[in-house]
């Protein structure tokens, strides 16, 4: 892990208890939503986290943001363990890490004007003098591509894309160092999606903001990220520089994921070998033994059902994958 890492996630495990019974509850097991995830993120870097529904990517985000507490492991921001903070000290630390969600309408208070929503965040965390508020808020709105007239309006007066800009402005109002964006463009139309992707990339570049960008859409993630991490059933199965992971995937799951993404080009689509994975992703309640991917993997061997693979380094560019056959199979 590099010394310059802003965010360090160390072997985080987030498990949810599963209880059975109504009056006499008993613990029958655990959903290992996040099961031993480690990575780091530098200032100004964009890490794209992809995976299918239920793979634990949102739980990982919520764990980093301390909205759920991990069962084990640590989350460090600038070397300070967020997982050890409680109460007021955690609340103070929150101005360093902010979030943007998929549905901006659900994350904005419908009864507050844009000005009030942004002012609330600024006053709560940074004690900006009141008379400076209008100027700061106009500057912030301009930064996210909204006009100063937006100040007086309510969330319902905006379209989905503009609302997402407001949600981003609100996150930036407290000058965070880390922004976690969970599916920020999934609810938007393609023409609007591009606007928000460009905005997030620009903000990260200009403000040196570290961005954890979570999406199920591999093309979007590839476009915006410096590095990619692919999650499957609570674990990172592959990580590395974005272009390398997409062009030469190491893990069979990454390869299947890439081949499933439709290409907006009819001639390429027509001459394309598509890997059709059998079945659905397994339930995290009852994960398969050995490699979690082996029941759907085209390259699985009997030993894949026994050995739990760990992330192993590959090459010189910081790539890692967790497949015991990654050096012997040519995918």
The residues that touch other proteins, with contacts defined as CB under 8 A, are 52-53, 159, 161-162, 189-195, 197-198, 201, 216-220, 222-224, 242-243, 246, 256-270, 272, 274, 276-277, 280-281
The nearer residue to other proteins, 87 or 279, going by C-beta atoms, is 279
Query: CA 238 to CA 186: how far, in whole Å?
Result: 23
Rounded to a whole number of angstroms, the minimum distance from the CB of residue 84 to other proteins is 36
Give the other-Cβ count within 10 Å of 214's Cβ: 24
Rounded to a whole number of angstroms, the minimum distance from the CB of residue 135 to other proteins is 27
Rounded to a whole number of angstroms, the minimum distance from the CB of residue 89 to other proteins is 38
* DSSP 8-state assignment for residue 318: T
Q: In this structure, are strands 46-50 and 210-215 parallel, antiparallel, or unpaired? A: parallel
The nearer residue to other proteins, 72 or 243, going by C-beta atoms, is 243
Rounded to a whole number of angstroms, the minimum distance from the CB of residue 60 to other proteins is 17
Angle between helices 114-126 and 160-172 in degrees, nearest 10: 20
The nearer residue to other proteins, 38 or 219, going by C-beta atoms, is 219
Two tokens, residue 330 = 């040519």
The nearer residue to other proteins, 143 or 223, going by C-beta atoms, is 223
Which value, in Å, is the radius of gyration of the alpha carbons in the chain?
A: 21
Rounded to a whole number of angstroms, the minimum distance from the CB of residue 262 to other proteins is 3
Rounded to a whole number of angstroms, the minimum distance from the CB of residue 95 to other proteins is 30
Rounded to a whole number of angstroms, the minimum distance from the CB of residue 265 to other proteins is 6
The nearer residue to other proteins, 32 or 165, going by C-beta atoms, is 165
CA distances to 165, 231, 261, 304, 331 from 322, in Å: 37, 11, 22, 11, 14
Rounded to a whole number of angstroms, the minimum distance from the CB of residue 294 to other proteins is 15
Taking the alpha carbons of 28, 33, 39, 40 in that order, is the dihedral positive or negative?
Answer: negative
The nearer residue to other proteins, 198 or 310, going by C-beta atoms, is 198
DSSP string of 210-269? EEEEEES-HHHHHHH-SEEEEEETTEEEEEEEHHHHHHS--SHHHHHHHHHSPPS-HHHH
Q: In this structure, are strands 210-215 and 178-182 parallel, antiparallel, or unpaired? A: parallel
Query: CA 291 to CA 308: how far, in whole Å?
Result: 5
What do you get for the CA distance between the two ends of the chain, in Å? 28
The nearer residue to other proteins, 171 or 256, going by C-beta atoms, is 256
Query: CA 331 to CA 153: how far, in whole Å?
Result: 53
The nearer residue to other proteins, 77 or 114, going by C-beta atoms, is 114
């Amino acid at each position: 892990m590099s010394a310059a890492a802003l965010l360090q996630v160390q072997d985080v495990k987030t498990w949810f208890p599963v209880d059975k019974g109504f009056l006499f509850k008993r613990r029958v097991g655990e959903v290992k939503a996040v099961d031993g995830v480690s990575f780091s993120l530098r200032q100004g870097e964009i890490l794209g986290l992809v995976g299918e529904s239920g793979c634990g990517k949102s739980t990982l985000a919520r764990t980093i943001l301390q909205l759920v507490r991990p069962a084990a492991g640590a989350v460090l921001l600038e070397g300070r363990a967020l997982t050890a903070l409680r109460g007021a000290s955690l609340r103070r630390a929150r101005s360093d890490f902010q979030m943007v969600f998929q549905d901006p309408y659900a994350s904005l208070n419908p009864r507050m004007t844009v000005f009030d929503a942004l002012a609330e965040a600024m006053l709560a965390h940074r004690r900006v003098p009141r008379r400076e508020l209008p100027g700061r808020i106009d500057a912030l709105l301009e930064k996210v591509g909204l006009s100063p007239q937006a100040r007086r309006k309510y969330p319902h007066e905006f379209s989905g894309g503009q609302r997402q800009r407001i949600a981003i402005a609100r996150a930036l109002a407290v000058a965070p160092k880390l922004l976690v964006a969970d599916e920020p463009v999934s609810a938007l139309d393609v023409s609007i999606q591009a606007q928000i992707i460009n905005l997030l990339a620009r903000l990260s570049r200009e403000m040196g903001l570290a961005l954890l960008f979570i999406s199920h859409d591999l093309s979007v993630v590839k476009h915006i990220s410096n590095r990619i991490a692919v999650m499957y059933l609570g674990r990172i199965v592959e990580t590395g520089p974005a272009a390398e992971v997409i062009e030469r995937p190491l893990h069979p799951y990454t390869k299947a994921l890439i081949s499933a993404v439709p290409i907006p080009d009819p001639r390429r689509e027509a001459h394309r070998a598509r890997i059709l994975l059998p079945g659905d992703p397994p339930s995290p309640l009852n994960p398969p033994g050995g490699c979690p991917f082996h029941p759907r993997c085209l390259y699985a061997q009997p030993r894949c059902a026994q050995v739990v693979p760990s992330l192993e380094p590959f090459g010189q560019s910081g790539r890692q994958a967790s497949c015991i056959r990654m050096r012997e199979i040519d995918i």
